Structures are given as structure tokens and as C-alpha cells.
Chain A
Amino acid sequence: MRAISGIILIAGTLLLQGCAAPEPSQDLLALTEAQMKIRSIQTRAFDVKDRQLAMRGVIAALQDLGFIIERANEPLGLVTAARFAEPNFNDVVGVTVTVRQQGESRMMIRANAIYNNKPIEDPKVYQNFFAALERSLFITKE
């Protein structure tokens, strides 16, 4: 009998702890190794000379993926877009893409994606995005 009450007690404390929100840590703004890794996942270089062309490619790729373009800033090379996580209409996926010139004929393209205000850290997601971007940048119909 004692064992059972012990189990229930442990279970109870576990229940209480399971859903507690994590405390904000001290190194919230520090650059950790994990962040470096995420940055490398989110960034890719493309052999494109014209920055505007690259931006238009990014926008077209996002539209192909069903994203709604919310904001664009040509001088800064910024594109912000969002879409609903269809068929779930209460979740939102947001993405910010920056296009930066690197050297003469290369563009660094970085994408940050969030799912309901939580950053997406799955490398697969970014691989898919860059695959779509590649298609839109280099395969032109006609």
C-alpha cells in the first residue's frame, strides 16, 4: 500500500513539473554554438550577380510555396512572408529572407522561419526552402 501512495506522490510531483515554463536563461542573447549551427543551416550562397534578380527569385519561390508576401525592402534586400499551416487555419508560419551581396557574383541568402512564434530549427525545412528557391532562380520557363 505504501508503495502505491509513493508512486502516486511521485506521479503528482511529476505532473506539477511537467508543464512548467522554462525560466529565461542568462545567456539569452549570447551567441552559442547551436546558434552558429542554425545560422549555417539558414544560409546559402547562390551564384547570382544581380541582387534585384535574386530578390525577385526569392519572392517568386515564396509565392510558389503558397506564402503571402507581407513586406519587401529592396535597398536592404529584405522579404517578409507568412502562410497558414494548411489545413490547420490557426497556425501561422512566418519567414524572413535577407539577400546580401557577397563579392562580385555571389548572393548570400538567409531565411529565418518561425512556426507560431517559435523558431523552426529543423534543417529539412530550410533544405526544402532552398530547393524551391533554386528552382525559381535557375529554371526559367520558355
Chain B
Amino acid sequence: MRRALLGGTCLLLSSQLAGCVTPTQPVELFQLTEESPRNKAMQTRFFETKDEVELLSASAAVLQDLGFQVEESVQDVGFLRATKERSAREYGQDIGRLFTFLLSLGGFIMPVDLHQKIAATLIARPINPEATRQEVRIIFYRVVWKGDGQADRQYIPPGQQKMEMLRDPVMYQQFFAKLSKAVFLEAYTL
């Protein structure tokens, strides 16, 4: 009896201690990974031009064509940031929601993705001292907001966020195809 009690308190204590541990700050967040060069290659193209300003304004125009709103721009460092907001509803998720609802006999209503913000940051910069060659690098990502749901009697409030980098090569290829058309130049990869 005594032992069981003691063991119980020990367990309780240790579990409490675990609860208080703050999430670790991984060191590798500031480290280049195996994927970094691959991502870089996908996100980067080179243009044989001296006109950095033209390249930047053409990039802004292409982003506008794609439905983005330019939110921030700094010409001195060749920087653009643009976003667009769209619905994130997918049929697959709605079907999944219905099935889990039926399977759990109405106990679980899965939250589905409702709304998303797709964003792009773009940097144009000269890569040789004579500035005859420019590099354009664009990174796409998105933030998704979920709707509400219910697990048993517990209500899941809406608005939980999910963020992800968009790493679909086709997206980047399309952007650069449009950009090279806009500046009448061929886009090189390394």
C-alpha cells in the first residue's frame, strides 16, 4: 500500500515536471540542410541584364497578374513581398469530415481548412561586380486558417493556424516562365 502510494506520487511529480518543460529551441533552425541547395535551385533563376529596376518592376507585374497584392517593396535591396487571400476549402476534407462524423456517431466534427493566405517574397540582386547578371529568388508560402469543430463535447474554436512553405516546382517554373516573357530575357538556372 505504502509503496504503491509512494510510486504514485513519484509518477505524478515526474509527469508534472515534464509538463513544465519549455519547448526546446532547435539549433538546426539556423543551419543549412540537405534540402537547402535543392530549394535554392528551384527558387532561383538568373537573367543576363544590367537593369535591376526593370527586373523588379516586371516581377511585381507578374505577381499582380497572378492575383497577388504587393505589400512591401524596397528598391535598394531589390525586395518585394506580395500576398493573396483565397478560400482553402477542399472537397476531400469535407468528405473526410462527413466520414469521421458518421464513424464517430456524431461525436467528432473535424475542423476543415477554410481560408488561406498565399504569400511570396522576392529578392533580385546582381551577382557579379559589374552587375551584368542578376539573380531573382522567390519563395512562396501559405498560412491556413481552420474552421470550428467538435470533439466529443469539447468545442474546437475556429482560427487555428497552419503554415507551410510551398515547394511545388511547377509553381516556381510558371512564375519564372511568366517573368522571362515579361522582361524579354531567358531565365537561366545554374
- Footprint of B on A, CB under 8 Å? 4, 7-8, 11, 14-15, 18-19, 52, 55-56, 59-60, 63-66, 68-75, 83-86, 89-93, 113, 115-116, 118, 120, 122, 124-126, 128-129, 132, 135, 140-142
Contact = CB atoms under 8 A, between A and B. Distances in A.
Given A60-B123, A65-B30, A125 B25 contact: yes
B8 to A, nearest CB: 9
Q: Name the prevailing secondary structure of the B interface residues.
A: mixed
Interface residues of B, number: 47
Contacts of B36: 64-66
The 8 closest A-B pairs by CB, nearest first: A74-B76, A128-B30, A129-B30, A115-B25, A72-B74, A84-B163, A124-B27, A69-B121
A56 B39 contact: no
Nearest to A3: B2
The interface residues of chain A, by DSSP majority, are classed as mixed
Contact of B139 (A63, A71, A132, A140): A63
18 contacts: A8-B5, A52-B76, A56-B123, A59-B77, A63-B123, A64-B32, A65-B32, A66-B165, A68-B139, A69-B79, A70-B72, A72-B74, A73-B74, A84-B141, A84-B164, A90-B163, A124-B27, A142-B127
